[in-house]
Amino acid sequence: MKRKRLFLPLILALMVMLAACTSGGGNGNGGNDPAPSEGENSPAPTESAKPPEDDGLYSIEDFSNVKKNEGEPIEGGSLTFGLVSDTPFEGTLNFNFYSGDPDSQVLGWFDEGLLTWDKNYVYTNDGAATYEVSEDGRTFTFTIRDNVNWHDGKPVTAEDWLFAHEVIGDPKYDGPRYDSNFTNIVGMTEYHEGKADTISGIEVLNEKQLKITYVQSTPSLLTGGVWSYPLAKHIFGNMPVDKISSSPEVREKPIGFGPFKVESIVPGESVVYSKNTDYWRGEPALDEVVLKVINPTTVIQQLESGSVDLVDSFPVDQYPDNADMSNVEFLGNIDRAYTYIGFKLGKWDAEAGKVAPDPNAKMGDVNLRKAMWHAVDNDQVGKRFYHGLRWNATTLIPPSHPEYHDASNPGLAYDPELAKKILDEAGYKLNGDYRTKPDGSELVIHFISMTGGDIAEPLARYYVQSWQAIGLNVQLEMVEFNTFYDRVGANGEDDPKVDVYQGAWGVGIDVDPAGLYGRDAIYNFPRYASEEQDKLLAAGISAEAFDVKKRQDIYKQWQQLMVEEIPVFPTLYRAVLAPVNKRVLNYAIGDGTGIYLHQLAVSQDKPFVAEK
Amino acid sequence: MGNTYGKRPEADRSPSGWRILWREIVRDKVALASFIFLGLVFLAVYGVSLVLDQKQIVTVDLFALNQPPSADFWLGTDYGGRDVFGQLIIGTRNSLSIGIIVTLLTGLIGVLVGLVSGYFGGTVDNVFMRFVDFFMILPTLMVVIAFVTAVPKYGVVSFSLIMTAFLWMGIARLIRSKALQERELDYVQASRTVGSSHFKIMFAQVLPNLSSIIIVTMTLNLAANIGLESGLSFLGFGFPESTPSLGTLVSYARNPQTLEFRWWIWLPASVLILVLMLCINNVGQALKRAADARQRRG
């Protein structure tokens, strides 16, 4: 419920790989900008744990994403929400302008999108607006419910929705939202370039009805491809577009139509919300919600003492030592993210805006890549380093997308003997400790990995050891986050000295992976491209892919293609955990749970305190 | 303090600087104990690290993460399954080596610059001292951190050189002020009149008279340099984890889980740093007293 934020389909946030991350989609609509990943970076100065007494393994299967309700709700009450971050939140409090995950956490309490989605991330008709799609799948007609009103009592109208599109499409717009989802609207490009005064593809039918026509019909439209956050025209209508994001109505006294209203803000530190009695779903049960920023190192203490009831994210590595905390229930969910090892197979051609695969790249031999995948034991890595809260990954679509993740595809299993055999047969001969290339020349593989989190270094070193064990001379370099992405090519200038790297992706709610692996995606760091993949990726967003079965089949083939070609191989999937004080009722994490913030309640006045 | 002076039996010849230093240490039981302990630590650390295989020690072992102390791992293992005892020995060796190398190098540069500048005075002094002033106003720690981040690969030697580059000024100033005093003395004038070269006067005559103060300063600097290295490693700007040092071991305690539940990772290194610092300081204090006749005990 509180995560009812809307993400555009391609948004893929880079993540600090080993830090225990917040939910991967946190960057919202940040589109193609790696910068927002700082939000992901937040908690987790720490990684490790495990009391050695027991086997210390946990499984995401044992967690529910819905809070058990114990006790009866009381009238009203107040609740404290901890925003776990070691930096203050920025305070751009409008969905049309914010960029970091912390801001979206603040926003989620007082504003929401007009559309909601189910657990497969497909838009439903139980949000503040309903929609109908035309026969050809290009025209959407939206109807906003009658009782949806801004906090100041004015109704949310189709004009407001159009206004949001106009502001984002304006050449002077200074936020991060304008991307391919907007250019897909008929007439948007002309408007953006100043050639048209209006957006021809958007039409206000009446006060509550809006019609949007898209250039191309794709299933991605139904999974986050529609911009559903209106902007209050009666407030922002007279402001210059480039002044809106710094206006007091965004920074100090923000407005929305969500279940709570902003009462007061201490910039960067805390927000007090009071209930919005006029909320369209019904009057919220709680009187007040207090949001405060708490440091990742003190999360445990604050939860134990009951000074926070809920947190937005929890450093997973601290779980094993605190699993028996008596006053909270831990909710768990599969994160929309995975860690992976990538192989550089080419360069970025900035002029053409395309990847330029190089068939002679050092890692160009698929046998070499296959052997490197077979050589690492990710099952044990997940169990030992992460106590089962991260686990062996098999394909490039994580199980957070249950409809599309191909559970029947086993990936490549840990088998160092097979790895050696593959290398022997491919002509990589042992010469002393290490193997040479098939042509007899020396083979030195440069591997870079990110610092950050305690596990980062030993984990990277473990991979190097595993590769050395099959006779590959792999040299490790640990670099810090920003340097890392510069060197793998986030700005298109790939460092030729990098052959292999370990990274992580947070994936958007739409399953389409073209933003990460497509031919024209700058985030295609391996610089891999093949015609077969182009075909599959195009098919995945074609009109025929509206048929879920068909789309599943397409992405199944794509996952298999990636297992065969191995431009990258996934290493670990991850769990997100959310501790919740036992007095909290009607709460859930994840998508499509059907539990909404206005139902949130407490069973007693004061939070439970942990018994030591 | 002063009463021992007259009692000395071999009063006919004033004792050499080295003998005074040594006697001061022996007279001070705490300093003596510290000195012996330091000697033992040096022997143990450099001796044992000869037989230890550093590659073996920094090998990540998935099946032995965070083990408490046992017969296999005397001081347990860290979150990478690496033996803490081995890391402690090699870490101490690395930290001590850096401390010693930096101290010797800064001493060498400092003495040379200070002596030349103080002995000649005038324009030479002016030029040298402006140079020193320039280095003094640099924010040393920040520059060292920037250097360390910029240099992609570094080991004990390069790290020592980086630290040396910003730490020689203190000793240079001290020696310069002493040399300024010294050159006014009669023996320098006399030596000059009989035609000794500047070089000979500086290094064969003035320098020995400054030796005790040099030794004292360098001993105290040793403690400071070890501390600086550990501090940088603690902050993550020292050695990478594959090169253990005392600072890296202590920095593991920044993880609240390690701090609370796994004392064996960070406690031994912390205690060792504390004890080493105290011992070096004790010895240094004794030497300092020896260098000042009014404070001597022996």
pLDDT at A56: 72
Of residues A178 and A231, more confidently modeled: A231
- Per-range mean pLDDT, top range of A5-9, A177-181, B185-189: B185-189
Inform me whether the pLDDT recorded for A54 exceeds 60.
no
A450 at the B interface (CB within 8 A)? no
Q: CB count, 10 Å around CB of B134?
A: 10
pLDDT at A579: 93
Q: What is the mean pLDDT of residues B71-89?
A: 87
pLDDT at A323: 87
pLDDT at B14: 61
How many angstroms separate the Cα of B164 from the Cα of each of B93, B104, B141, B227? 18, 9, 12, 14
Q: What is the mean pLDDT of residues A227-251?
A: 93
| Separation of alpha carbons A480 and A450, rounded Å | 5
pLDDT digits (tens, 9 = 90+) for A82-95: 998 878 888 899 99
B240 falls in which pLDDT band (50, 70, 90)?
A: confident
Q: Name the residue among A52, A321, A381 with its Cβ closest to that of B257.
A: A321
pLDDT at A213: 95
Smallest Cα distance from B241 to chain A, Å: 7
Cross-chain Cβ contact A477/B82 below 8 Å: no
A27 falls in which pLDDT band (50, 70, 90)?
A: very low
Smallest Cα distance from A244 to chain B, Å: 39
Q: Which of B11-20, B79-88, B201-210, B286-295 has the lowest mean pLDDT?
A: B11-20
For residues A82 and A312, the answer to whether their CB atoms sit within 8 Å is: yes
Tokens standing for B119?
Answer: 């002995």
Q: What is the mean pLDDT of residues A151-158?
A: 94
A509 falls in which pLDDT band (50, 70, 90)?
A: confident
Closest CA to A502 of A9, A14, A49, A35: A14
Q: Which of A29-33, A209-213, B230-234 has the lowest mean pLDDT?
A: A29-33
- Mean pLDDT taken over chain A: 86
Q: Name the residue among B62, B236, B257 with its Cβ closest to that of A462.
A: B62
Residue of B nearest to A45 (CA): B255
pLDDT at B251: 87
pLDDT at A52: 38
Cross-chain Cβ contact A454/B261 below 8 Å: no
Inform me whether the pLDDT recorded for A232 exceeds 90.
yes
pLDDT at A424: 93
Give the best residue of B57, B73, B151, B257 to mutate against chain A (max A CB count within 10 A).
B257
Inform me whether the pLDDT recorded for B256 exceeds 60.
yes
Closest CA to B42 of B107, B89, B101: B89
Inform me whether the pLDDT recorded for A97 exceeds 80.
yes
Give the best residue of B60, B242, B258 to mutate against chain A (max A CB count within 10 A).
B60
pLDDT digits (tens, 9 = 90+) for B195-232: 889 999 988 888 888 888 888 899 989 999 998 888 88
Give the best residue of B255, B261, B262, B263 to mutate against chain A (max A CB count within 10 A).
B255
pLDDT at B13: 59
- Complete DSSP assignment for A213-260: EBSS--GGGGTT-S------HHHHTTS-HHHHTTSHHHHTS----SSE
For residue A45, list chain B residues with Cβ-Cβ distance below 8 A: 254-255
Q: What is the mean pLDDT of residues A270-293?
A: 94
What is the percentage of chain B residues whose pLDDT exceeds 90?
Answer: 33
What is the percentage of chain A residues whose pLDDT exceeds 70?
Answer: 91
Residue A196, amino acid: A
| Separation of alpha carbons A375 and A391, rounded Å | 16
Inform me whether the pLDDT recorded for B85 exceeds 60.
yes
Q: What is the mean pLDDT of residues A370-381?
A: 94
Q: Name the residue among A297, A318, A455 with its Cβ closest to that of B79.
A: A455
Cross-chain Cβ contact A49/B59 below 8 Å: no
| Separation of alpha carbons B18 and B6, rounded Å | 20
Q: Where are the beta strands (DSSP E) in A507-611?
A: 568-581, 584-585, 601-602
Cross-chain Cβ contact B258/A46 below 8 Å: yes
pLDDT at B22: 84
A3 falls in which pLDDT band (50, 70, 90)?
A: very low
Q: Name the residue among B58, B67, B256 with its Cβ closest to that of A46.
A: B256
Smallest Cα distance from A361 to chain B, Å: 24
A273 falls in which pLDDT band (50, 70, 90)?
A: very high
| Separation of alpha carbons B135 and B137, rounded Å | 6
| Separation of alpha carbons A146 and A156, rounded Å | 9
Q: CB count, 10 Å around CB of A272?
A: 17
A612 falls in which pLDDT band (50, 70, 90)?
A: low
Tokens 């610059």, located at residue: B113
Query: Would strands A601-602 and A584-585 be described as parallel, antiparallel, or unpaired?
Result: antiparallel
CB neighbour burial string for B175-204, b if at least 16 within 10 angstroms, e if fewer: bbebbeebbeeeebeebeeeeeeeeebbee
B241 at the A interface (CB within 8 A)? yes
Q: What domains are there in chain A, each with its CATH number?
A: 129-243 (3.90.76.10)
